[in-house]
Amino acid sequence: MTGSLIALAVLALVACGPYILDAYGIGLLIGAVSYTILASAWAMFSGPTRYISLATVAFYGTGAYTVAVLSEALPWPLVLVSAAVIGGVLALLVGLSTLRLAGIYFVIFSFGLAELIRQLITWFEVSVSGTLGRYIFLELEPRHVLWQLLALAAVVVLITGWIHRSRIGLALKVIGDDETVAAHAGINLARTKLILFVLSSVLITLVGAIQSPRWVYVEPGIVFNPQVSFLTVIMALLGGATKRWGPVLGAVPLFLLFEWLSARFPDHFSILLGLLFIGVVFLLPDGVLAAIEKLRKKKEARA
């Protein structure tokens, strides 16, 4: 409870950012908040279930595309609602058909999903609408984007808080520890996973939708950039996907690190990203938070 309150207070503080920061400062906040939501939403499902999902960009891109298609036809709030509904229905369909797959197959499928949706949209645009690039001309300023993202972040805080306190949170802990035990204890595995997958996907879809007016021009190659999926995974893993505040602690520092790298070493980004991946997986398999806890326990044991 205190955790949620502190988090909400921090979000409120960040919301004052646009009054003191310049455009780049606001841009940084948008990036950091957006990746924080992506990593938290990802961890919401993948943390407890241990299903590594590479489908982040499939939903993120779907959100952006929904805006590109509907932005002129509907008022903005309805566009966002449509994006959430489309993301949710898509996640439900995908979840129903794949969540019974064992872990490794799910990873492969989730990676393919982004490509599948990208090709479907391309096919539709080529053969039905006869255009590919779409324009988003909305009079939304960066600070509006930031405030919407912060509101979404507040929703994430409330949802994770609720999950931790509710029966579903307890069920997830059991599933994470041992699926067989969970099944024997009468937990409906498929339904629990599905609920989380849909929740997490709707949040990710909304991030894409809220951010897309910043890009003006949308085409599948731009919005389905697989790097978004990889960065989200590495951020959540660095912080610790099973801890409630883990993804935040992974997303913010890594986002800032990448930003620094892109300026300091503009020619070596891919190499550094690869090294970082290896480093996180080898040195911090359970994330920073878990590593700190382990250290503390060791100290206590010695004392």
Partner 1 sequence: MRNVTRRALSCYVSAMAIGLALPGAALAAETITIGYAVSKSGPNAGGAGISTIPNYELWVHQVNEKGGLLLPDGSRAMIEVVEYDDRSSAEDAVRAIERLATQDKVDFILPPWGTGFNLAIAPLMDRFGYPQLAATAVTDMAPDLAKRWDRSFWFLGGGHDYGDALASLLGELKEKGQINDKVAVVSVADGFGIDLIKAARPALEEAGFDLVVDTTYPAGTSDFATMISGAAGSGADTFIAFSYPPESFGLTKEAQTAGFNPKVFYVGVGGAFPIYPNVTGGIEEGVMSVGGVDAASPKIQEYFAAHQEVTGKLPDSWASAITYTTLEVLEQAIARVGLDHAAVAEEISTGTFDTIIGEVKLEDNQLRDLWLTGQWQEGKFVAVAPADRDGASDPVVPKPAWD
By CB under 8 A, name the binding residues for partner 1.
Answer: 22-28, 30-31, 34, 119, 122-123, 125-127, 130-133, 135, 137, 142, 211, 214-219, 221-223, 225, 227-228, 259, 262-264, 266-267, 269-270
Residue 164 or 214: the one with the smaller Cβ distance to partner 1 is 214
- 161 Cβ contact list (under 8 Å, min separation 6): 1, 3, 4
Residue 141 or 179: the one with the smaller Cβ distance to partner 1 is 141
Q: How far is the CB of 286 from partner 1 (least distance, A)?
A: 28
Q: How many CA atoms lie within 13 A of 181 on its CB side?
A: 8
Residue 127 or 180: the one with the smaller Cβ distance to partner 1 is 127
Q: How far is the CB of 80 from partner 1 (least distance, A)?
A: 18
* Long-range interactions of 249-255: CB distance < 8 A, separation 24+: 249/287, 249/288, 249/289, 250/39, 250/287, 250/288, 251/32, 251/35, 251/36, 251/38, 251/39, 251/40, 252/32, 252/35, 252/36, 254/35, 255/31, 255/32, 255/35
Q: How far is the CB of 17 from partner 1 (least distance, A)?
A: 13
Closest listed residue to residue 219, CA positions, set 122, 290, 126, 76 = 122
Could you identify the residue written with the tokens 């989200």?
232
Q: How far is the CB of 40 from partner 1 (least distance, A)?
A: 18
Residue 74 or 272: the one with the smaller Cβ distance to partner 1 is 272
Residue 68 or 90: the one with the smaller Cβ distance to partner 1 is 68
Residue 55 or 68: the one with the smaller Cβ distance to partner 1 is 68
Residue 162 or 217: the one with the smaller Cβ distance to partner 1 is 217
How far apart CA 145 and CA 211 sit, in angstroms, is 6
Q: What angle do CA 17, 21, 27 make, to 5 degrees?
A: 85
Q: How far is the CB of 127 from partner 1 (least distance, A)?
A: 8
Q: How far is the CB of 137 from partner 1 (least distance, A)?
A: 8
Q: How far is the CB of 122 from partner 1 (least distance, A)?
A: 5
How far apart CA 65 and CA 248 sit, in angstroms, is 27
In this structure, are residues 224 and 197 in contact, taking their beta carbons and an 8 Å threshold?
Answer: no
How far apart CA 177 and CA 40 sit, in angstroms, is 20
